[in-house]
């Protein structure tokens, strides 16, 4: 329920993939949400194209993976341009090719289908945290643009209980709300172009004496080229590079002339690295590129942001209902972001260094060949190894506590089920393979739409869970495993709030 004088419970700024994912998650948690997007229509700009294994699992959790059909496997990954097999046990081994525009279309349909309001042509220009609500100033584009005889933008003021900036790396929310954003500017850069009408060999991180060259011809005949001249510093840019700059660099590195092609898209990106020191300031939060800027290498930027959204959505919705775990968003996601930015910085050194990093690359190549080292890096890049601190990491802690619920085939009262599918409604799940009557009694006190008690058995012939019972948060992370009833009660209270005295009692009211 929206408080008097409040237009919406949560205003999400930005309908990129992160804002759309967050909007859907908030709706699943029962929060009212409006998404403000400055663009009148979705962008068709060529951006990220890789979804990693953990993101695919998250999409399956919400019933969205199947809508992607059968996306092509992206083949082996890399670490700093050194081939790295990303496959790990799970339903989505490796990396998957899905154009960002398709991911956004899918998430927009899902979020609005769940009741999120998406307002395009709405540019946020002011934000004031009033303590008990946030006031947002918006410029609304006229339905008919001035070029077609319409008027200019009009101003509007909206009030929300919380605002989340998902407005990308130049985030105005971050700037207006005054989030410190420490880090480093780019020192090196890659030029990138999508070009029609050229015929150059495909190259994967080809190292030449003067620079790095990458080329890949897509199914439509357009070739994406990327190039970096060793020792060339990043240039301060306010615009995309010219086609001539790209062709000159390409010729310098490879000796090939691609100037006869037609550029479809030109872009430069560097190794800038920044992360806000707090993901929340009062009633304003940040997620995705707004919270962290990184070089888009190995397809981690988009995946990291989507996982921010899935961590935040249910917590903010629960906070609005009166349970106070919102600050665990920063506590959990800031370290994950810092680690990803760290691995990207290491990759940038290996990738964009010249002759001086050849020996380091050679040592690294040897290490990646060791199964444990490979699995370690694959876990980090795929997002599968994220493990939140649930109980202080004490001795004897179950190795899966805080990790994501692995995919198992189970048999439930409703028939065969995959564990990921149990999370479709966005509720917590008490997964009970032991039929301990004490668990059912505990779960009943949260069975008001917050936690679903699922009794299950391992599917005959399939690998079953390595536990008798577990509490799964709506984001798929395991908050309690095989502990005492008192520990379960504490975990349920921590993540889902105070119990209701009996089944069917309404959940706590939304807080103002
Ligand atoms: C040119 C480019 C190329 C990229 N290439 C790759 C790649 O090859 N691989 C990779 O992994 N990643 C790549 N990325 C990064 C990847 O696209 C991002 O990590 C991802 O889009 C982050 O999603 P987001 O939702 O946080 O932000 P964004 O996708 O940037 O979405 C932010 C949204 O907020 C809107 N917005 C901004 N300001 C306002 C405002 N004041 N009011 C209202 N709305 C606003 C924007 O219009 C936009 O729709 C690229 C990014 C860019 C910009």
Atom index in ligand 1 nearest the CA of residue 45 equals 1
Dist. CA 476–CA 403, nearest whole Å:
8
**Upper half-sphere CA count for residue 424 (Cβ side, 13 Å):** 11
Cβ atoms of residues 134 and 108 within 8 Å: no
Dihedral sign (CA 333, 336, 338, 340): negative
**Cα separation, 340 vs 299, whole angstroms:** 11
CA of 382 to the centre of ligand 1 (A): 20
168 C-alpha to center of ligand 1: Å?
5
State which CATH number among 3.40.50.920, 3.50.50.60, 3.30.930.10, 3.40.30.10 fits the domain covering 8-49+99-182+274-347: 3.50.50.60
Q: What is the pLDDT, as a whole number, of residue 505? A: 43
- Give the whole-angstrom CA distance, residue 125 versus residue 38: 10
In a structure prediction context, what are the per-residue pLDDT tens digits for the chain, which is 512 residues long? 567 789 999 999 999 999 999 999 999 999 999 999 999 999 887 788 899 999 999 999 999 999 999 898 888 899 999 999 999 999 999 999 999 999 999 999 999 999 999 999 999 999 999 999 999 999 999 887 777 777 888 999 999 999 999 999 999 999 999 999 999 999 999 999 999 999 999 999 999 999 999 999 988 899 999 999 999 999 999 999 999 999 999 999 999 999 999 999 999 999 999 999 999 999 999 999 999 999 998 889 999 999 999 999 999 999 999 887 899 999 999 999 999 999 999 999 999 999 999 999 999 999 999 999 999 999 999 999 999 998 765 667 899 999 999 999 999 888 888 999 999 999 999 999 987 788 888 888 999 889 999 999 988 888 888 899 999 999 999 999 998 888 899 999 999 999 987 654 444 444 44
Q: Residue 191 C-alpha to ligand 1 middle, in angstroms?
A: 18
Contact 276, 181 (CB under 8 A): yes
pLDDT for 144: 78
Is residue 157 within 8 Å of residue 233, measured between CB atoms?
no
Residue 393, pLDDT score: 58
Output the CA 469–ligand 1 centroid distance in Å.
40
Same fold, 189-270 and 409-496: no
- In the DSSP assignment, the letter for residue 72 is P
Counting from 1 in the atom list of ligand 1, the atom nearest the Cα of 43 is 49
Mutate to test the pocket of ligand 1, among 175, 298, 302, 347 (most ligand atoms within 8 A of CB): 302
Q: How confident is the model at residue 311, as a pLDDT?
A: 98
Residue nearest to atom 6 of ligand 1 (CA): 48
Contact (CB, 8 A) for 131 and 124: no
Among 12, 16, 287, 337, the mutation site with the greatest number of ligand 1 atoms within 8 A of its Cβ is 16
What is the pLDDT at residue 392? 62
Q: What is the dihedral of CA 253, 254, 256, 262, to 10 degrees?
A: -70
Say which DSSP state 373 is in.
Answer: H
Listing DSSP states for 201-230 in one string gives --EEEEE-SSEEEEEEE-TTS-EEEEEEET
- Rounded to the nearest angstrom, the distance between the alpha carbon of 390 and the centre of ligand 1 is 31
Cα 2 from chain centroid?
A: 28
Q: Where are the domains of the chain?
A: 8-49+99-182+274-347, 189-270, 409-496
DSSP string, 285-354: EE-GGGTEE----TTHHHHHHHHHHHHHHHHHHHHHTT---TTHHHHHHHHHHHHHHHHHHHHHHHHH--
In short, whether 344's Cβ falls inside 6 Å of ligand 1 is no
Please tell me the distance between residue 445's alpha carbon and the centre of ligand 1 in angstroms.
42
φ, ψ dihedrals at 463, nearest 5°: -70, 125
The terminus-to-terminus CA distance of the chain in angstroms comes to 9
**Residue 167 Cβ < 6 Å to ligand 1:** yes
Task: Determine the distance from the C-alpha atom of residue 494 to the mean position of all C-alpha atoms in its chain, rounded to a whole number.
Answer: 24
Q: Tell how far the Cα of 297 is from the centroid of ligand 1, in angstroms.
A: 14
What ligand 1 atom has the least distance to the C-alpha of 36? 43
What is the 234 CA–ligand 1 centroid distance (Å)? Answer: 20
Ligand 1, atom 53, lies closest to the CA of 47
The pLDDT of residue 506: 44
Residue nearest to atom 8 of ligand 1 (CA): 48
CA of residue 389 relative to chain centroid, distance:
19
189-270 fold: Alpha-Beta Plaits (3.30.70)
Instruction: Give me the CATH code for the 409-496 domain, please.
Output: 3.40.30.120
Q: What is the CA(43)–ligand 1 centre distance, in A?
A: 10
């Amino acid at each position: 329920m929206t408080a008097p004088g409040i237009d919406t419970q949560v205003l999400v700024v930005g309908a990129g993939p992160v804002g759309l994912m967050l909007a859907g998650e908030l709706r699943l948690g029962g929060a009212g949400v409006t998404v403000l997007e400055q663009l009148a229509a979705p962008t068709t700009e060529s951006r990220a194209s890789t979804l990693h294994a953990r993101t695919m699992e998250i999409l399956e959790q919400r019933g969205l993976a199947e809508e992607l059909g059968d996306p092509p496997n992206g083949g082996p990954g890399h670490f700093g341009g050194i081939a790295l097999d990303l496959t790990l046990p799970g339903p989505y081994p490796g990396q998957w090719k899905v154009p960002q525009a398709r991911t956004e279309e899918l998430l927009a349909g899902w979020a609005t289908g769940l009741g999120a309001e998406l307002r395009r042509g709405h540019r946020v220009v002011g934000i004031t945290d009033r303590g008990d609500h946030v006031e947002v100033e918006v410029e609304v584009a006229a339905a008919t643009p001035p070029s077609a005889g319409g008027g200019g933008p009009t101003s509007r003021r909206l009030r929300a209980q919380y605002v989340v900036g998902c407005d990308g790396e130049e985030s105005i929310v971050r700037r207006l709300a005054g989030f410190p954003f420490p880090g480093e500017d780019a020192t090196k850069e890659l030029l990138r172009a999508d070009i029609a009408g050229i015929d150059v060999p495909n190259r994967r991180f080809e190292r030449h004496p003067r620079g790095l060259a990458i080329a890949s011809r897509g199914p439509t005949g357009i070739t994406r080229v990327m190039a970096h001249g060793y020792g060339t510093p990043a240039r301060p840019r306010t615009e995309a590079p010219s086609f001539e700059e790209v062709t000159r660099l390409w010729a310098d590195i490879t000796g090939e002339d691609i100037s006869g092609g037609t550029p479809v898209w030109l872009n430069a990106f560097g190794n800038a690295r920044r992360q806000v020191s707090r993901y929340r300031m009062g009633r304003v939060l940040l997620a995705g590129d707004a919270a962290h800027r990184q070089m888009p290498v190995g397809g981690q930027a988009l995946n990291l942001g989507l996982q921010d959204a899935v961590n935040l959505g249910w917590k903010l919705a629960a906070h609005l209902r009166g349970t106070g775990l919102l600050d665990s968003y920063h506590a959990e996601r800031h370290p994950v972001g810092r680690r990803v930015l760290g691995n990207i910085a290491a990759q940038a050194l290996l990738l964009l260094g010249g002759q001086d990093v050849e020996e380091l690359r050679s040592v690294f190549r040897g290490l990646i060949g060791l199964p444990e080292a490979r699995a370690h890096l694959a876990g980090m890049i795929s997002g599968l190894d994220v493990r939140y601190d649930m109980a202080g990491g004490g001795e004897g802690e179950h190795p899966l506590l805080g990790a994501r619920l692995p995919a198992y085939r189970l048999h439930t009262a409703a028939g065969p089920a995959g564990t990921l599918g149990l999370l479709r409604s966005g509720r917590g799940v008490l997964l009970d393979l032991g039929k301990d009557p004490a668990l059912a009694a505990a779960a009943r006190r949260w069975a008001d739409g917050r936690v679903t008690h699922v009794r299950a058995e391992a599917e005959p012939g399939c690998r079953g869970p390595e536990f008798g019972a577990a509490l799964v948060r709506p984001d798929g992370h395991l908050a309690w495993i095989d502990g005492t009833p008192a520990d379960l009660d504490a975990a349920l209270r921590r993540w889902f709030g105070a119990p209701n005295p009996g089944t069917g009692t309404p959940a706590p009211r939304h807080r103002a």
